[in-house]
Amino acid sequence: PVVVLKAGHKAGGNKAAQTHSGTIVGSDDVFDAALRRAGAVRVHSFVQLFSAAKCLASRYRAVGKRLAIVTNGGGPGVLAADWISEIDLQLGTLSPATVAALRPQLPPLATLTDLVDLSEDATPAHYLAAVQAASADPQVDGLLVIHSPKGGCDAAAIATALADFMPRSTKPLLTCWMGDASVGDARALLNAAAIPTFRTPEAAVGAFGNIAAFYQNQRLLQQTPPPLSALAKPDIEGARLLIESVLAERRKVLTEMESKALLAAFHIPVTKTVLARSANEAMMIATQLGYPVALKIDSPDISHKSDVDGVALNIANAVGVRDTYNDMVALVARQMPQARIHGVTVQNMARHKRGREIYIGLVTDDPFGPVIAFGAGGTMIELLNDRAMELPPLNQFLARSLIERSRVAETLGEWRGASAVDMHALEQVLMRVSEMVCALPQLREMDINPVIVDASGAVSVDARIVIDSAPVGHSGRGQSYQHLAILPYPAHFEHVWPLRGGGQYAVRPIRPDDAQMLQDLVRGLSAESRYFRYVSMLSELPPSMLSRFTLMDYDREMALVAVFKERTVTDDGSILETERILGVSRYITNPDSTSCEFSLVVADAYSGQGLGTRLMLSIMEVAREKGLSEIEGLVLASNPGMLKLMRGLGFSVKPFAEDPDFRLVTHAL
């Protein structure tokens, strides 16, 4: 586990920003988003740093946010429950079955409705019964046991009961023994049993929050989405032509129509919008679109149209369109005489019953690059200040996680008589925005505000996009995603090849969820093959090495796996498909950034079938595309099969000056 304490919380966003997103997203928010995707835990004080270290060093990993509280004092228990809601955790409550089984074992005054309050009559046996029941309850992810000193109550005996239970606990167990001199012995017993103990309920709840955050962030770390989702292919070339034409006019802010055209190229639903340059033209367009319509001023110099009375909604007839057009142009010209006014856009009113207004934004941070923001939309977006952030690329899991972290998420289910919104449509819009960010390095800021979403889907009503030239070093082979902090999963390296003897296998970049298959490959190797690959007598990969081999940034290193799918018929006649890894080739870029070192291993049962050759040719092609000039490796002199393969591929084989047991093999790329 990595715990980060960073000083310097920079306030606010960029005051010169041209979009809502650029105004409300601060650099510290982006730093938090980057840490989440890196699987680390952020703390804000030295006290939190040490408590996080104490908890994360334990063998427990929380699998959720539900913390149950077992206490003998109502006040400290309620304080802990308050802090649970304050830091976005959930109070774990016992299921009805657990309550029914536990109640006869507790004092008559005990309450089990939300907190497990054992009352002042609690004994070590009562504590133990409550902790055992809560630990086994599926509605609980962790336990906090609070003890307040009471007359005639043995604090050390209760601690001893917990210490005896500790080896059987499968969920995080934290304690808070309040007081000082009277509970010193109890704290010593808890520390000796490796049970994290704290002096205040709030500190204990915060420590559980760190454990829960670590688990959540590790799940984010496992996500490696490709740059393009499985949705319909976007018109990337058309989008690039549009951006180039705007940049050729020495403009950086797209008009609303241009912004919507860019969104439409990536299949993001937008309201139909037509530019009118006169009142008569606006009347004709409105009649064709059908009433009611909305009119909006069209100017590259106005960031927020509603601030200058540049938006009129629900206009029901032609006379209203004509009068509104003339009044709007005159009013905006008076308020902003220097603004260039192209005309007024006419669009249908979005007919969404009980639709919720949300915004999806983009900011570009230094040094993390583009960041996608999500929150409550509308004209009061800065006041609401609802922002959740994620670094692209996104997949469905990351899009759902981003939505859930926003405050507006509470209104997206069934809410005050309105039906739940189409979450799938909202996730698709976020994944489409992610595709835009990956494919178009010229994007700098973006507001899609509002996106109106209801049970029938989502539609973008207004959009504003700021662009600039692509970052330096963007062009060139293999450099298409250098503007991103997290490289997408390189799906374009996936290829299917025939297997000698029938069947076929796929060569593709390794993924984090391949860890178990990689472990199975290593366990299945002969002792000689394992020694040839790892120069060690290990029988399996330790967890640290396994994560190191499967979690990578695909930038300075790459691993390709040969995956074979087996189909077997089960007893009930259904077909079961299982995958296994037959071999792995990988390279790591050397510090000189021009050469790389490779490794290769193939399952013993598949040696001599051409897998080694295919994996080596494939990894060399990846290194070549990355711009590397040479690939090298160390092969044991006692490994004739590998040396023969290297010579067959054109590698030069030389003695290794530092160790006579090895041969240095090199090949120019």
The answer to whether the CB of 122 falls within 8 A of the CB of 43 is no
Is the domain 45-221 a CATH 3.40.710.10 member?
Answer: no
What SS3 string covers 560-588?
Answer: EEEEEEEEEECCCCCEEEEEEEEEEEEEE
Segments of the chain scoring below 50 in pLDDT = 13, 474-478
Rounded distance between C-alpha atoms, residue 412 and residue 381, angstroms: 17
**What pLDDT is attached to residue 341?**
87
pTM of the full predicted structure? Answer: 0.78
Q: Return the CATH class of domain 272-349.
A: alpha beta
**What pLDDT is attached to residue 478?**
43
Q: Is the dihedral of CA 402, 264, 224, 525 positive or negative?
A: positive
What single DSSP character describes residue 255?
Answer: -
**Mind listing the pLDDT tens digit for each residue in 147-199?**
988 877 788 888 999 988 888 888 888 999 988 877 888 889 988 888 888 88
**What pLDDT is attached to residue 487?**
85
Contacts 24+ apart (CB under 8 A), 518-525: 518/546, 518/549, 518/550, 518/561, 518/581, 518/584, 519/546, 520/580, 520/581, 521/580, 521/581, 521/582, 521/583, 521/584, 521/601, 521/603, 524/603, 524/604, 524/605, 525/601, 525/603, 525/604
| Among 438, 306, 448, 311, residue whose Cα is nearest residue 374 | 448
Rounded distance between C-alpha atoms, residue 7 and residue 110, angstroms: 45
**What pLDDT is attached to residue 30?**
87
**Mind listing the pLDDT tens digit for each residue in 601-645?**
999 988 888 899 999 999 999 999 888 999 999 999 999 999 999
Residue type (1 letter), 524: G
**What pLDDT is attached to residue 402?**
93
The answer to whether the CB of 583 falls within 8 A of the CB of 611 is yes
**What pLDDT is attached to residue 21?**
65
| Among 294, 334, 390, residue whose Cα is nearest residue 35 | 390
Rounded distance between C-alpha atoms, residue 58 and residue 75, angstroms: 28
Decide which of 3.40.50.300, 3.40.47.10, 3.50.50.60, 3.40.630.30 is the CATH code for 491-668.
3.40.630.30
Domain coordinates of the chain in residue numbers?
A: 45-221, 225-269+353-485, 272-349, 491-668
**What pLDDT is attached to residue 477?**
37
The answer to whether the CB of 256 falls within 8 A of the CB of 462 is yes
Q: Is the dihedral of CA 313, 315, 318, 323 positive or negative?
A: negative
Sequential DSSP letters for 50-92: HHHHHHHTSS---SSSEEEEEES-HHHHHHHHHHHHHTT-EE-
**What pLDDT is attached to residue 476?**
37
User: Residue 114 has which token pair?
Assistant: 């939300």
What single DSSP character describes residue 469?
Answer: P
- Residues 225-269+353-485, CATH architecture: 2-Layer Sandwich (3.30)
User: Residue 300 has which token pair?
Assistant: 């590259």
Residue type (1 letter), 619: I
**Mind listing the pLDDT tens digit for each residue in 415-448?**
777 888 889 999 999 999 999 999 999 999 998 9
Which residues lie across from 197 on neighbouring strands? 175
**Mind listing the pLDDT tens digit for each residue in 311-345?**
888 898 999 999 999 999 999 888 888 888 888 99
In sequence order, the 6+-apart residues with CB closer than 8 A to the CB of 606 are 582, 583
The answer to whether the CB of 326 falls within 8 A of the CB of 277 is no
What single DSSP character describes residue 108?
Answer: T
Rounded distance between C-alpha atoms, residue 652 and residue 668, angstroms: 9
Rounded distance between C-alpha atoms, residue 446 and residue 223, angstroms: 24
Rounded distance between C-alpha atoms, residue 278 and residue 250, angstroms: 26
**What pLDDT is attached to residue 519?**
92
What single DSSP character describes residue 48?
Answer: H
